[in-house]
Homo-oligomer: A and B are copies of this chain.
Amino acid sequence: MDKAAQPFDPKDFRQALGMFATGVTIVTAQAEDGTLVGVTANSFNSVSLDPPMVLWSLAKKARSLPVFSSTTHWNVHILSNEQEELSNRFAKAGEDKFAGLDLDVSSNTAPLLQGCSARFQCRTAFQYEGGDHTIFVGEVTHYDSSNRPPLLYVTGGYALAARKAGPVATEPTSNIEGASYSENLLGYLFGRAHFQFVHGLRGTLAQRQLSDTDFFILSLLSVKQPLKPEEIVAHIAYTGVDISSNTLQSLVKRGLLEVLSNGAGLRLSAKGSDAILHVLAAAKSFEADLVSRMGELESAALRNLLKQAISATDPGLPKLWQSATA
């Protein structure tokens, strides 16, 4: 494990450094001839509160180094979650990086980008030797911030941050020897999250006299219809719910589903549409409440991760959302 022989393998060393998560910044300046320059950097950090100072470092071979070395002012932009594209644009050489970008009025000569999580307008305080990089330390003359969640860079890729859920509990395990069933098992967490969500809809389901199985069938048809009985079974079989022809017959008898006369299968009746509409409205409302409790940042990260887990465990289900895979 311990790597000592120098020179290090640059790729491996970079990978180890990548374990340190960072935000992503763009640092900008203006050359004496008026040319605007900007580079993506994750080497930013705060240094001092009094006087307010920040630092970042730039490769000595960077084309913009002469500009940053000779200018007296530069601006640091902490990129938001939605500025991944901007990060990529300023990470590449060539082209006019500022083309089409609206700029804010800056207190100094350096351009000031919009839509960031925070911005720091700086006057160069020091330039220091740092191996193949130059370290720039600036005194912050102006700053502002927004509540836009920041973009992250970790282990070589963009990421989102999610605040930790309090202290991690000790991991109690099952009380029978050899079994390690704990509340950290993803399978347990999926089930509990699922059943608690459905629990929140149970009042609405009961009002309409819908069982969980009825709910699955109606919501499936709300996305895709008409479907033949065997197609409905194929979509829902993975839930372990047994859909007998009785179940479907009963939904027809109750006037929630209609049998198409051309043999195309089953579709929602007006009554069925109305029923599932009410349940889905309750689901959206339950979800909105959940999102407001968890926060937008965490909810976005959770959706993102559940999709990864679903894709990793997909037993080969028929595609429900055609346009999402087109």
Q: Do residues B23 and A19 form an inter-chain contact, with CB atoms below 8 A?
A: yes
Asked whether B298 lies within 8 Å of A181 as measured between CB atoms, the reply is no
A129-182 interface with B by 8 A CB criterion: 129-133, 135, 137, 139-146, 150, 152, 154-155, 157-165, 167-170, 172, 174-176, 178-182
CB atoms of B313 and A196 under 8 A apart: yes
| A155 proximity list for chain B (CB < 8 A) | 150, 163, 297
Give every chain B residue within 8 A of A100 (Cβ-Cβ): none
Q: Which of B179, B199, B219 has a CB less than 8 Å from the CB of A276?
A: B179
> Which of these, B44, B84, B107, B142, contacts A164 with CB under 8 Å?
B84
Closest chain B residue, CB of each to CB of A46: B17
Q: A293 in the interface, Cβ–Cβ < 8 Å?
A: yes
A167-206 interface with B by 8 A CB criterion: 167-170, 172, 174-176, 178-187, 189-202
Which one of B19, B222, B303 lies within 8 Å of A179 (CB-CB)? B222
Q: Name the CB-closest residue of B to A54.
A: B17
A46 to B53, CA, bound (A): 18
In the complex, whether A32 has a CB less than 8 A from a CB of chain B is no
Which of A66-74, A90-98, A277-285 lies at the interface?
A277-285
Main SS at interface, chain A: mixed
Verify A162–B165 contact, CB threshold 8 A.
no
User: A2 contacts the other chain (Cβ, under 8 Å)?
Assistant: yes
* Residues in B whose Cβ lies below 8 Å from that of A152: 21, 152, 154, 161
Whole-angstrom distance from the CB of A161 to the nearest CB of chain B? Answer: 4
Indicate how many identical chains form the complex.
2
**Judging by beta carbons under 8 Å apart, are A303 and B130 in contact?**
no
User: What interface size band does chain A fall in?
Assistant: 35 or more
Cβ-defined contact, B168 with A84, below 8 A: yes
Known: A20-B45, A172-B223. 12 other contacts (CB 8 A): A13-B49, A20-B44, A47-B133, A48-B57, A48-B130, A84-B167, A126-B129, A152-B161, A165-B305, A184-B303, A189-B310, A305-B305
CB contacts (< 8 Å) of A268 on chain B: these are: 176
Is A240 at the interface (CB under 8 A from chain B)? yes
Shortest beta-carbon distance from A124 to chain B in Å: 13
Residues A13 and B52 in contact in the complex (CB < 8 Å), given A23-B21, A160-B164, A199-B315: yes
Across the two chains, which residue of chain B brings its CB closest to A274? B176
Asked if B21 and A150 make an inter-chain contact with CB atoms under 8 angstroms apart, the answer reads yes
Whether A3 and B142, one on each chain, are in contact in the complex, defined by CB atoms closer than 8 angstroms, is yes
| Complex A-B: 11 CB contacts under 8 Å | A19-B78, A21-B150, A82-B168, A128-B135, A159-B162, A162-B162, A175-B225, A183-B321, A184-B303, A189-B310, A196-B310
B19 touches A130 (CB 8 A): no
A306 at the interface (CB under 8 A from B): yes
